[in-house]
Structure 1
C-alpha cells in the first residue's frame, strides 16, 4: 500500500465516525446552486472551460477552427483560470458553543460545524483550496481535505471560550470565522488585525441560540456556563434583561465596527433559523471581491 493510499484509508476510517455531519454538510451544500462553473472563470490555465464567439481584439491564433467549422460563426476556446484561492476556516470549539436552550434546537456548535463544513464542500467543488487557520491543516483541495476538516471540527476545546486562531495566515487569502463571539473581545481584535496586516479579508458569522438573543428568563433563575466556570443565581432574572440586551448590542456593534475597519464582513445566524439561508449568505459574502 502506498503512503498516499494509506493516508486516504486512515482519513476515511477517521471520518467513518462522523457520517451524520458529513452527510448533512454534503446535503446542505447541494442546496446551493453554483451555476455551471462555481467560482471558476476564464484565464490562464490548461483545462478547457468553454467556447465563446470571437470578439473584437481576439487574436487569430485563439480561434478554434474545429469548433468554428461546424457553422458560419467563429469561436474562441477559453481555458479555465487556475489560480486557486486559499480559504482558511476557524470554527469555535469552546464549551459555550455546546449550548442549546431547547431539545428541538441544534447546539451552536452543531450548527457552526455544519455551516463550516458545508462551506468547505462548496469551496472545494469550486476549485479552491480550503484549510484551517493555524498550522494544523494547511489549505488543500480534494475530498480527503473535507474528511480531515470533518474530523477536526468534531473535537471540543476544554475552556468556555476558544480564542480565534490567527497564526500562519496566508497573505492575501480569504478567511471565515464562525463563533458566538461571547468570549474575550481582545482575542478577536488581535486575530482580525493580524489578518488585515497580511491582506487577509474574510467573514465573521455570529451563531447564537434564540434565548441568548431574546433573554426570556423570569423569576428565580440559575445561570451556569457550559464549561462550569461561571455560576450566577438570581431571584429576579427579568430585571437583568435590559442590561443584558444593552451589553449584547454593544458587543455586536463593536464587532461590526472592527469588521469594517479590517475589511471583513459580519453576519448573524440564530439556530432556530434555516441553515440553508445562512449558507447562502456565507457563499455570497465569501464571493464578494473574490
Structure 2
C-alpha cells in the first residue's frame, strides 16, 4: 500500500525559513528554480515565437529600455539617434499579459511515494517554467496579487522572490479577487479541492472583463485511485478534520465517484467561461502539463506552434 506524507507549512513557502542575508534566491530555492529551467529549456526547442503578422504586430510606440529586459527587444536604429536605448513596442504586446497563480494552501503539501514530487513542488515548477517560456517568447508575465506583468530577463528569479516574500498564500486555497484586462490570460495552478461554488466565484471574478484562462489541476496518483485497503484515517488538511474508515477498499468506490463528480463540476465552470481545464498527475513529467498550457494559450490567440 502506498505511503503518503504532508509537507510542513514552511516547505510550501520555500525560502521563508532562510535568513535575510542569503545572497541570491538560487540559494533559497535551488531545486525549484533549476527544475523549472530544465522544463523551460525542454519546451523552447519545439515552440515557434508568438510574434505574428497582422493587427497584433501594429507598431504602438517606442519606450525606454528597462534594465533586466532581454537585449533582443532593443530597437538599435531608434536607439542610435541619441544616448538612450529604446524598445519598439507593438500594440498586442502592450495589450496582453499572462497572469499566473499558484495554490500553496495546506492540501498542496500532500505527496505519496507514487509521485515524482509533492503537489506544491510541481505547481511551483510549472508556474516558474511557464513564466520563463512565455517571457522568452515575448510575453509579459505577472503573479496575481503579487507582481505586475513584466518581461524581465530573469523572470524566474523575479517570480520566485515574490513568492518567497508572500506568506498570506498559505492561508487560502483560492486566487486573489479582482478582474484582469480583456485580452489578458490567467493560469491558475491548484488541486482545486475547494467547493465548486467558491471556485466558480473566483473564476467569474477574474474573467468578468472577458479575460481568458486555464485551470491546471494538480493531482497525486493516490488521490485519484485511492488504492487503500483495511482500516484507514483520512485527514482534511485545510480544516483539520479526520475520518476513520473501517473498510477503505469498499469506501474507495464512493470516493472515486465523488472525485469524478467534483471534476465534472470544475470542468463545467471552466467551459462556461470559455476557459480550459488540464489535469496533471504528479507521477508524470512536468513538461507534459507545461506543453499543453503553452499550446492552449497559443490556440486561444490564433497562433500556430511547431518546431523552429
**TM-score, scaled relative to structure 2:** 0.73
Determine which structure has greater relative contact order: mean sequence separation of CA pairs < 8 Å that are 6+ residues apart, divided by chain length: 2
Q: Does 1:110 align with 2:121?
A: yes
1:171 aligns with one of 179, 182, 207: 182
Mean Cα displacement is larger for which, 225-234 or 170-179?
Answer: 225-234
Match of 1:4 in 2: none
The 2-side partners of 1:236 and 1:36 are apart by: 49
Counting matched residue pairs gives 250
Q: How much has 1:228 moved relative to structure 2?
A: 6.8
Taking a change above 3 Å as real, the CA distance of residues 11 and 285 of structure 1, as seen in their structure-2 partners, is farther
Aligned partners of 1:130 and 1:141 also within 8 Å: yes
Match of 2:288 in 1: 277
Q: Secondary structure at the match of 2:113?
A: coil
Q: Secondary structure at the match of 1:83?
A: helix
Aligned partners of 1:196 and 1:263 also within 8 Å: no
Q: Secondary structure at the match of 2:133?
A: helix
- Structure 2: stretches of 5+ with no match in the other structure: 1-20, 63-70, 74-87, 302-308
Q: Secondary structure at the match of 1:288?
A: helix
The 1-side partners of 2:194 and 2:296 are apart by: 24
Q: How much has 1:289 moved relative to structure 2?
A: 2.0
Match of 1:26 in 2: 37
Q: Does 1:44 align with 2:58?
A: yes
Match of 1:289 in 2: 300
CA RMSD, 1 decimal = 2.7
Q: Secondary structure at the match of 1:31?
A: helix
Aligned partners of 1:269 and 1:278 also within 8 Å: yes
Aligned partners of 2:179 and 2:209 also within 8 Å: no
1:83 aligns with one of 53, 71, 92: 92
Task: Encode CA deviations 1:95-146: one digit per residue, 9 max, x unaligned.
Answer: 1011001176300110111111100001100111101112x21111113443
Q: How much has 1:274 moved relative to structure 2?
A: 1.6
Aligned partners of 1:178 and 1:207 also within 8 Å: yes
Within 5 Å, give how 1:247-262 maps onto structure 2.
Answer: 247-262=258-273
Task: Encode CA deviations 1:243-279: one digit per residue, 9 max, x unaligned.
Answer: 1111111111111111111010111110001211111
The 2-side partners of 1:21 and 1:197 are apart by: 33
The 2-side partners of 1:228 and 1:174 are apart by: 31
- Structure 1: stretches of 5+ with no match in the other structure: 1-9, 50-78
Q: Does 1:137 align with 2:147?
A: yes
**TM-score, scaled relative to structure 1:** 0.78
Taking a change above 3 Å as real, the CA distance of residues 36 and 196 of structure 1, as seen in their structure-2 partners, is closer
Task: Encode CA deviations 1:181-201: one digit per residue, 9 max, x unaligned.
Answer: 002222210121123321110
The 2-side partners of 1:165 and 1:12 are apart by: 30
Aligned partners of 1:39 and 1:126 also within 8 Å: yes
Match of 2:306 in 1: none
Mean Cα displacement is larger for which, 28-37 or 94-103?
Answer: 28-37
Within 5 Å, give how 1:62-211 maps onto structure 2.
Answer: 81=90, 83-84=92-93, 85-102=96-113, 105-134=116-145, 136-154=146-164, 157-159=169-171, 162-211=173-222
Q: How much has 1:241 moved relative to structure 2?
A: 0.9
The 1-side partners of 2:48 and 2:229 are apart by: 52
The 2-side partners of 1:40 and 1:97 are apart by: 35
